[in-house]
Structure 1
Amino acid sequence: MNDSPGCPLIGVAAAYMPRLSETTSDPGLAAAVDQHAAAVREALVPAQRGRRNRSLRREELGDYVLGFTDWLAEARWTEPVGHDFATLRLTAVCWLIREHDLLAA
């Protein structure tokens, strides 16, 4: 998963962005992805006095993805057919990529 050169968000988006379409027909899945997105965002952009709306930066999310996917590789994780913590988290990363337009040139 980390073997593509350049920005790690590109590989994650290619692999998990299609899963976002599943959220339109499954409110429970949409809620789970939303919760994961909120957790990632809070980890990267903690609420700061007077800076609540600071936008998410591509580099910050890229670093997060590198750490998370390294952890998955160490754990020898394999993608399941359904949804587990890792697929929800990676799908949430894709939601953040899309919402913050982080792959724009």
Structure 2
Amino acid sequence: MTAFLAGFSLGMLLSFSAMFVYITVSPHVLIEHYGFSSTAHALVFSSNATGILLGNYLNSRLLHRLGAVPLIGLGAVATKPRHPQTNSMAKSLNERR
């Protein structure tokens, strides 16, 4: 397996893991911790599902237009950690290399 394919596989593994964690934990957190009603939780959950569908549609269009590698770079820039502590941790990890 090439490193490129391993990176794609790891990305898919992490995204699906995050999705299933959200599906499993969101009722408990939103209803019991934050006090949402069942209806409010359903609205939040369905709006997230709609966002995922729209994001996948947009991704399929951009993938044909731009290709996979530019989209991965765009995603990395768009999701770059912006918290000062996270940035300092990333810098210290890069300095150790």
Fold agreement, TM-score > 0.5: no
Q: Which has the larger radius of gyration?
A: 2
Query: RCO greater where, 1 or 2, for CA within 8 Å and sep 6 or more?
Result: 1
Instruction: From the two aligned structures, give the one with the greater helix fraction.
Output: 2
TM-score (norm 2): 0.30
